[in-house]
Structure 1
Amino acid sequence: MYKTLSFLSLMCLFLAACSKQPQPFTSFEDAQTALKSLNTALVQTKTIKIDTLTDEQLVFSDAYLAKRHAIYQSLMDMQLESNQIAQVNYLVIAERFPERYFNWPAQINVLENMLAFDGTKHKPDNIIKWLKLTQDQLDSAKQSNLKLNKVELSLLNSYVDETLKNNKVQGALQSHLRAFSVYLSNYKVRGSVGLRGLANGSEWYQSKLNYFSGAVHSPLEWASLLNKKINMLKVTESISNVDVPKTHEYSFIVQVVKSSKQIPGLGWQSHYLDLPSMAANMNASASNSALMLVMMETDVGIHYHAWTLPQAKVNLIKRLKISPEFAQYLVEDIILYPGQSFSFASTTL
C-alpha cells in the first residue's frame, strides 16, 4: 500500500512539473527582442536578420496574435520598473480593442517591408496568404461596424499602386495584388476619421490618453485643460519650418523625442521607445511646448469630437501659424497615432 502511495505521489509531482510551462522570457530586454522579431514586417531593425517570414510574423494572423499574447503574459509575470509595467498594461488592454481587424496598419508599408526579404520575393506564398487574410478581416470587421477611415484607405491604395506600377511583383502575387487593389477601390470608408467612429473606439481612445499622459481625465476634461492653457499662448511667428516628412513610418512624436536619452519600449508604433518617459526628460522650448499643446487639442478634436480633416487642419494653422503642408502632415499623423502627443502632457500642462 505504501509503495502504491509513494508511486502515486511521484506521478503527481511528475505531472505537475510537466504541466508547468517554462517561462519563455526572463527579462524585459528578451521580451523586447522577441517583439521586434515578431513585428519585423512592421518595423525593420538592423539587428533582426531573416530571409523569409514565418506564419507568426504575418501581421495580426492567429499565429501572430497568439505569440504576441504569450510575450505579454511573460512580461506580466516579471519584476518590472513602474514605467515598464505601465507599458505592459497598456498593450494588454489594447488586445481587447479592434486593432486586430486591420491587418495592415496604414502608417506602415507592410507590403514593401515583406518584399524586402529575399526568400519572400521568390516564394511569396506568405504574402498572398496575408493579403487574403487582410481582405477577410476587413470584410469581417464591417459586420461589427469597424471600417477604415479615408486617410488609411488612401495610404493602403498608394502602397498597392506603387508596387504594381514599379513592377516589383510578378506572377501569382501580382494577380492577388491587382484583385486587392480592386477591392480597395470599392471599399466604403467610415464617416469619421477619429477613433470615436469605431465600435468601442471611445474606450480605446481613453486607454491611450491614460497611458501616454500618465493621468486619468476624460476627453472633455482634457479639452478644458488644454483650452485654458492654449488661450494664454501668444504665437507671433511660425512654430516650425521643418521639412515635411514624406511618410508616417516614424510618428512625429517619435521624431521629436529622438534627441532625448533613449528609454526602451515595447510598442512597434513608438519604435520600441518609452515615449512618455522620454518626453518627461526633455526640456522643450516655448515654441515646441505650444506645438504639443495644440497637437493634443487637435488630437481630442479628431478622436473625440469628430473633427473633419479640414477642421483639424485649420485649427493647427490658426493656432501655430504653420504651413498648410505641415498642418496636413500633422493631422494625418494624429489620425494614425492617436494619443501619442499626450506624452508631453506632464511637461506642458
Structure 2
Amino acid sequence: MAVLSEEHRNSINYLKIQERYPERFFAWSPHLDVLARADRVVSQDSLNSWLMLVLARLREGYESKVILSRLERAQLLKYLTQSDYDSKEKQALVQYLSEYKVRSGIGLYQLPNGKEWYQSKLNFYSGQTHDPHELAAFLSAKTDAVDEPVESNINNIGLRLPAILQITSSYCEAKSGLNWRDSYVDVEHTLANCYQYIPLSDLKVLTVLAEVDLGIHLYAWSQRQAMHRLQSRLALNDALAHALLNNIAFHPATNMAILPYIKASSKL
C-alpha cells in the first residue's frame, strides 16, 4: 500500500475543508469552459443533467446568500452563449443567469464564511499561517517601493490555470497534485522546485498579484480599485489587466504560493 506524502495529506485535508464552504454551490467553476469540453466527450443526456445540476445548485446557493459576482456571472454566460450546443436545459440556465442579481463585490469576503475560507486558502497555498493585516502591510510596502510600472513578459493570461503557473511555466515544471481547481497541479511543490529560476521582473509581478488577491478577496477592493492597482504597478493594457483580474478572482489565494519567496528575496 502506497504511503501518502505530507504534501498529499495536506491537499486531502484542504479538499475536505473545501467541501464545507460556499464553493459547493458553484457546480460550474467559471475558470473552466466545461460546456465546450463536455460536448465532445459525454452524452447529451449526461450534459443536460449536469446543466440542471448547475441551475439547481445556483438556486440553492442564492437562498443561502451564496451569490455569484458580476465577473463569474458574465463568464458563465459567455461560455453558454458562445457554445453551439443547444438544449432546453441550456436555455433554462441562460435565462436564469440573464435575470440573476449578482452580489456587489468580486471577492470571497462577501460570501458566508468567505473570509474564513480565504484565510484557509491563504494558509494552504503559502504553506504558512499569516496575519492578514501584517501581510497587507508587507505587500503594500513591497509594491510601493517600485518607482515605475514593472515591465513583464506576459502576453496572454487564460483562466484554466492560475496566473502564477502561467507566468512561471517557461522555467517551472508542473508537479502533479490532487486539486482539480488547479488542473491537478501542486502549485506549492511546483514553485519549491524552481523558485531559484524566477527572474526579478516576474517576482515583482507576482508580488503585485498577491497584493491584489488579498485586496479583492479579503479587503473588499472594488473592480475599479483592483484594475487601478494592476495598471499603476504593472505595464499592462486594459485587456491584459482585465484578464489578470478575472484570473485572480477565479483562483482565490493561489498566487499566495509565491509569499515564501517574496519574503526570502533580498532584491525586492
TM-score, normalised to structure 1, is 0.71
Superposition map of 1:114-153 within 5 A: 114-117=38-41, 120=43, 124-153=44-73
For residues 212-231 of structure 1, the aligned pairs below 5 Å read 212-231=125-144
State the shift of 1:333 in Å.
0.6
Find the aligned partners of 1:219 and 1:330 in 2 and give their Cα distance: 22
Contact conserved, 1:265 with 1:273, CA < 8 A, in 2? Answer: yes
| Partner Cα separation in structure 1 for residue 80 and residue 65 of structure 2 | 25
CA distance in 2, matches of 1:254, 1:262: 8
* Structure 2 CA distance for aligned equivalents of residues 248 and 184 of structure 1: 20
1:308 counterpart = 2:222: yes
1:137-216 equivalences under 5 Å are: 137-163=57-83, 166=84, 168-169=85-86, 174-216=87-129
1:341 aligns to 2:261 (yes or no):
no
Aligned with 2:152: secondary structure? Answer: coil
For structure 1, the 5+ residue unaligned runs are 1-25, 28-78
How many Å separate the matches in 2 of 1:201 and 1:150? 17
Counterpart in 2 of 1:329?
Answer: 243
Q: Larger RCO: Structure 1 or Structure 2 (Cα < 8 Å, ≥ 6 residues apart)? A: 2
- What is the match of residue 239 of structure 1? 151
Q: Could you tell me how far apart the structure 2 residues matched to 1:208 and 1:274 are?
A: 14
The structure that has the greater radius of gyration is: 1
Matched-pair identity in %? 31
In 2, Cα distance between equivalents of 1:92 and 1:115: 29
Write out aligned runs for 1:287-302 (5 A): 287-302=201-216
Q: CA distance change for structure 1 residues 308 and 80 in 2, over 3 Å: closer, same or farther?
A: same
Tell me, in whole angstroms, the C-alpha distance in 2 between the residues paired with 1:277 and 1:125.
39
CA contact (8 A) 2:168 2:198 kept: no
Q: In structure 1, what is the Cα distance between the partners aligned to 2:238 and 2:153?
A: 12
2:254 and 2:146 mapped to 1: Cα distance? 22
Structure-2 residue corresponding to 1:87: 11
After superposition, what is the alpha-carbon deviation per residue over 1:271-312, rounded to whole angstroms, capped at 9, x for unaligned? 211111222332211111111111111001100111111110
**Cα contact 1:147–1:198 (8 A) shared by 2:** yes
**Post-superposition, which runs of at least 4 consecutive aligned residues in structure 1 deviate over 3 A?**
none
Structure 2: gaps (5+ residues):
264-268
Size of the aligned set, in residue pairs, is 260
Partner of 1:99: 23
Residue 109 of structure 1 aligns with which residue?
Answer: 33
2: distance between equivalents of 1:335 and 1:278? 21
Contact 1:254–1:270, Cα closer than 8 Å, also in 2: no
TM-score (norm 2): 0.91
Cα RMSD over matched residues?
1.6
Equivalent AA in structure 2 for residue 231 of structure 1: D
Amino acid at match of 1:263: K
